[in-house]
Amino acid sequence: MKLYDTEIASRLLLGTAQYPSPDILSAAIRASGTEIITVSLRRETAHGSGGIFWDRLRQTGARILPNTAGCHSVQEAITTAQMAREVFDTNWIKLEVIGHADTLQPDVFALVEAARILSADGFQVFPYTTDDLVVGEHLIAAGCEVLMPWGAPIGSGQGLRNPDALRSMRAHFPNTPMIVDAGIGTPSDAAKAMELGMDAVLLNTAVAKAGDPVGMAQAMAGAIIAGRTGFLSDPMGPRDMAVPSTPYLGLAELG
């Protein structure tokens, strides 16, 4: 998988919020095999533990993808992205511009505008967006080379609420890396996303809030590999009627 100019082997991106302890977070990162971890600059700065936390993340060896979580306007997102570039010395930014307080649905109008400004400023933008084809087209026109449609609202664990829309996005943007971001609750959700042809999955709460975050991180990694392998194997489609797997020829005839 190639994201902008970087080759990535693991198709699991892991968030770093809400873990029971830094040790469990580090162990979950290792168990997942992820090469990319996301972190909210606003959250960690607000908690006053930024320096120690970021040092711990750097020690994992994973690439840090800072995000603009909690931003509700274009200017907020741009300022946060610029601060993140200085702190982490990276042009990568996961762009979030929230438009609805309850569902945390992106404000797609502000998202496109912020993506345009940041792309022009040299950022490589990973936009958290809806599963809307037109919005996707505008984000690509704004300079994005990756799309990150939601599966369901952030932290909801509802899985893929509209797989048909994700399938349509995959068909409409066949050459654009596509990462399902938000809503994944179980390994089967992650596998389903990959079976639809998605390039990767980004998740956080499903691992961080599991009874065994390390075990769940490992399970998610396995599910993503299984789903990707299944997609590449050209699975059979559903049928309207049963089809016997054993031929009638050679069956015993009872007089």
- CB 6 within 8 Å of CB 13: no
Active site residues: 94
Residue 223 is labelled as binding a ligand: no
Q: At which residue do the structure tokens 């967006």 appear?
A: 129
DSSP string, 58-94: HHT-PEEEEE-TT--SHHHHHHHHHHHHHHH--SEEE
- Crossing angle for the helix pair 133-141 and 108-120, to the nearest 10 degrees: 20
Please report, as a single letter, which amino acid is at residue 156. Answer: S
> Please, how many CA atoms are within 13 Å of residue 183, restricted to the half-sphere of its CB?
25
CA dist 212 and 219 (Å) reads 11
- CB 14 within 8 Å of CB 33: no
Q: Phi-psi category of 33—alpha, beta or left, where left has phi over 0 and alpha has psi -120 to 50?
A: left
Residue 205 is labelled as binding a ligand: yes
Residue 211 is labelled as binding a ligand: no
Binding-site residues for 1-deoxy-D-xylulose 5-phosphate sit at 155, 182-183, 204-205
Which residues are annotated binding-site positions?
A: 155, 182-183, 204-205
